[in-house]
């Protein structure tokens, strides 16, 4: 039997609530399947630690995570700590330190959940957004001169490397090829951004030659927001830069009913280091401690984690359980229900234990 070493980092806000839910579902799966076991280590990193010690995680934090099979992450961010400190103090060092260059964001309208788009229902929207996760607009390069003065100047430099774009493009074409429609949309902004974005377009054309069976097209990011809303059926696999895909995937989450159902995997496709799985949403201060956080995004990302670990049967079972519970109407308030986090979690665990899942 395989035992997987999982690093759980619940962090801030509703992070601990949804990670606790996710771990209950994973335990139910491990017990039912008997094919694997989890060895979970909890890390109390996050904003509380920052307020006490001045750092969200220890200096050798990444080193401590190196030998885990996967990282299960909640959310980071606190009302009284600036967001750039929490983001750069915990999530980004892990993503960048472990070169998790592919950020993979599946989006579907789950049964029982209503999209804000009229006439779009379950089955009409089935996307995977691939976000470049190691460079681009979030390279962290830039600076401020004459801070606070009238002549202040700030730069925020986007770095695109041929190696970085090639590898994310290959990953996206491969993923598109593995899906039934074999359809890829490459998103750029190469009309206004003449260097990095034009290189993206060129590299997409180059890589497409390696995948003759994949149908692909390009679209500018602003036009893409319109297409996602007006013609969602025309999209399947989508690849975009760090910033563009960050924005598009929040829109995708909203179109699928709620940010509370949107998952993401930060993946090192070469498997040199652990990959990290997390819900897309943040720490949601407005509902923290109320027991109503939607755990579905975290279940879904747990399924992504199981897939990554090679436990595909368990991953499929978990998603079937989630779909059954959603279809039956056991939903949290963000998707129109009145169930609590724990009620949804109990229903999913019951479904996992059920015979027909």
Residue 202, Cβ neighbours under 10 Å: how many?
A: 13
Torsion sign across C-alpha atoms 49, 50, 51, 54: positive
Q: Residue 246 binds which entry of Mn ion, ligand NAD, none, with Cβ cut-offs from 5 to 8 Å by kind?
A: Mn ion
Asked if 132 touches Mn ion (CB under 5 A), the answer is no
Q: How far is the CB of 246 from Mn ion (least distance, A)?
A: 4
Contacting residue, 29, 259, 306, 326, with ligand NAD by CB under 6 A: 259
Asked if 263 touches ligand NAD (CB under 6 A), the answer is no
* Helix boundaries (H) for the chain: 15-33, 47-53, 61-65, 83-86, 92-97, 162-178, 196-208, 221-230, 242-255, 296-309, 312-327, 341-353
Contacting residue, 131, 244, 281, 324, with ligand NAD by CB under 6 A: 281
Asked if 304 touches ligand NAD (CB under 6 A), the answer is no
Asked if 210 touches ligand NAD (CB under 6 A), the answer is no
The answer to whether 91 and 75 are in contact (CB under 8 A) is no
Number of residues that bind ligand NAD (CB under 6 A): 22
Which window, 123-131, 220-228, 233-241, 293-301, contacts ligand NAD (CB under 6 A)? 293-301
Asked if 246 touches Mn ion (CB under 5 A), the answer is yes
The answer to whether 204 and 238 are in contact (CB under 8 A) is no
User: What string of DSSP letters covers 113-150?
Assistant: ---SSTT--TTT-EEEEEEE-SSEEEEEEEEEESTTST
Q: How far apart are CA 14 and CA 74, in angstroms?
A: 8
Q: How far apart are CA 276 and CA 344, in angstroms?
A: 24
Contacting residue, 293, 303, 318, 325, with ligand NAD by CB under 6 A: 293
Contacting residue, 196, 232, 265, 282, with ligand NAD by CB under 6 A: 282
Contacting residue, 80, 151, 213, 286, with ligand NAD by CB under 6 A: 286
When the beta carbons of 9 and 29 are compared against ligand NAD, the nearer one is 9
Asked if 91 touches ligand NAD (CB under 6 A), the answer is yes
When the beta carbons of 138 and 200 are compared against Mn ion, the nearer one is 138
When the beta carbons of 246 and 278 are compared against Mn ion, the nearer one is 246
Q: How far apart are CA 183 and CA 238, in angstroms?
A: 8
Interface positions with ligand NAD (CB under 6 A) = 14, 18, 75-77, 83, 91, 259-260, 278, 281-287, 293-294, 297, 332, 334
């Amino acid at each position: 039997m395989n035992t997987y070493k999982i690093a759980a980092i619940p962090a801030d806000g509703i992070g601990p609530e949804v990670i606790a839910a996710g771990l209950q579902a994973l335990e139910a799966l491990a017990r039912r399947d008997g094919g694997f076991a989890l060895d979970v280590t909890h890390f109390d990193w996050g904003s509380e630690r920052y307020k006490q010690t001045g750092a969200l995680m220890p200096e050798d934090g990444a080193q401590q995570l190196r030998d885990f099979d996967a990282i299960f992450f909640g959310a980071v961010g606190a009302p009284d700590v600036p967001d750039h400190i929490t983001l750069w103090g915990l999530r980004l060092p892990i993503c960048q330190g472990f070169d998790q260059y592919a950020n993979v964001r599946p989006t579907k309208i789950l049964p029982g959940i209503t999209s804000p788009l009229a006439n779009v229902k379950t089955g009409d929207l089935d996307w995977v957004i691939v976000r470049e996760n190691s460079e681009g607009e979030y390279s962290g390069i830039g600076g401020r001169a004459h801070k606070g003065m009238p002549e202040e100047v700030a730069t925020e430099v986007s770095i695109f490397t041929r190696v970085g774009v090639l590898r994310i493009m290959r990953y996206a074409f491969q993923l598109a090829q593995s899906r039934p429609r074999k359809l890829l949309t490459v998103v750029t902004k190469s009309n206004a951004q003449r260097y990095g974005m034009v290189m993206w377009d060129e590299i997409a054309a180059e890589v497409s030659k390696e995948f003759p069976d994949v149908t692909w097209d390009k679209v500018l990011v602003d036009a893409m927001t319109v297409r996602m809303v007006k013609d969602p059926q025309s999209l399947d696999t989508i690849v975009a830069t760090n910033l563009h895909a960050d924005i598009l995937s929040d829109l995708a989450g909203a179109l699928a009913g709620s940010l509370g159902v949107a998952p993401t995997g930060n993946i090192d496709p070469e498997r040199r280091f652990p990959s990290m799985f997390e819900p897309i949403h943040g720490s949601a201060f407005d509902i923290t401690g109320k027991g109503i956080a939607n755990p579905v995004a975290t279940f879904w990302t747990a399924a992504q984690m199981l897939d990554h670990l090679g436990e595909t049967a368990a991953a499929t079972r978990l998603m079937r359980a989630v779909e059954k519970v959603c279809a039956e109407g056991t939903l949290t308030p963000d998707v129109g229900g009145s169930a609590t986090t724990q009620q949804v979690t109990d229903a999913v665990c019951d479904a996992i234990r059920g015979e027909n899942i």
